[in-house]
Amino acid sequence: MKNQYVPVITLDGPSASGKGTIARLVSQALGFHYLDSGALYRLVALAAMKRNVDAGDEQRVVGIARCLDVSFIDSSIRLDGEDVSDEVRAEACGEYASKIAQYSALRVELLGRQRDFRKLPGLVADGRDMGSVIFPDATLKIYLTANEEERARRRHKQLMEKGINANIANLVLALHERDGRDSKRAASPLQQCEDTRLLDTTGLNIDQVVGKVLGMYADSGSVE
Ligand code: DC
């Protein structure tokens, strides 16, 4: 049987740009699968942190990724059978993930796991290199961003809702540092490629952004 083309929408962008929320809602609207690629990096980070592995120890980090026992069931994320959905969202986990994400051997290790999410009727994937490396033939590639203050405010709101205290000025600094590291690394850096459409969400609400992404997808000619 001929292989059927599976449509993919990629949403890449800096931290706290709203990629996760938008990707999930767009996938629900289209009935597509959803890949939160950052969660995979965060899961490796969490597994390494639980084993007291230093982020600088590339060999051990890659070894952990090779044997990673993870599952995504509905909206819950499991590591070694344990529900770690909240734990992986912690700032410390994101920081550690950003540090180890520079290892090309780790990125190669996670490549197949990410591509396995591509199944009919389609996939919405968010991350940093979804359009540039993981799904270069994606149907629609979007670079989602918002200005730094707005992203820090969104992250602040998310943390406060979870009962975690945070300070906006410190969050701006942390986002700035993390985005710098994610964009300047040699291996699959965060970048806006030529075939990627820019979507600046500053001042837009969630429904407006979802509407724009769905509109872009309809315009891409892939909707029958
Ligand atoms: O999207 P996030 O905040 O959950 O991602 C956590 C870190 O993982 C991010 O700072 C960089 C890394 N990452 C990556 O390098 N490539 C991806 N496709 C997704 C995340």
Q: Smallest Cα–Cα separation from 106: which of 56, 46, 48, 44?
A: 44
> Is the minimum distance from the CB of 179 to ligand 1 under 6 angstroms?
no
> Residue 52 in contact with residue 105, Cβ under 8 Å?
no
Q: What is the pLDDT of residues 88-123, one digit of tens each?
A: 988 899 999 999 999 999 999 999 999 999 999 999
16 is known to lie in a ligand binding site: yes
3-state DSSP call for residue 94? helix
Q: How confident is the model at residue 165 (pLDDT cuts 50, 70, 90)?
A: confident
Question: In the chain, how many domains are there?
Answer: 1
pTM of the entire predicted model: 0.94
Q: How many CB atoms lie within 10 A of CB 155?
A: 21
> Which residues have CB under 8 Å from 85's CB, separation 6+?
75, 76, 77
Residue 45 lies in a domain: yes
Closest C-alpha to ligand 1, atom 20: 38
CATH number at residue 49: 3.40.50.300
Q: Is the CB of 182 under 6 A from ligand 1?
A: yes
CA-to-CA dists, residue 80 to 35, 88, 97, 111, angstroms: 19, 13, 18, 20
Taking only the tens place, the pLDDT of each residue in 1-49 is 567 899 999 999 999 999 999 999 999 999 999 999 999 999 999 999 9
Ligand 1 atom closest to Cα of residue 95: 10
224 found inside a domain: no
* Domain around 145: 8-218
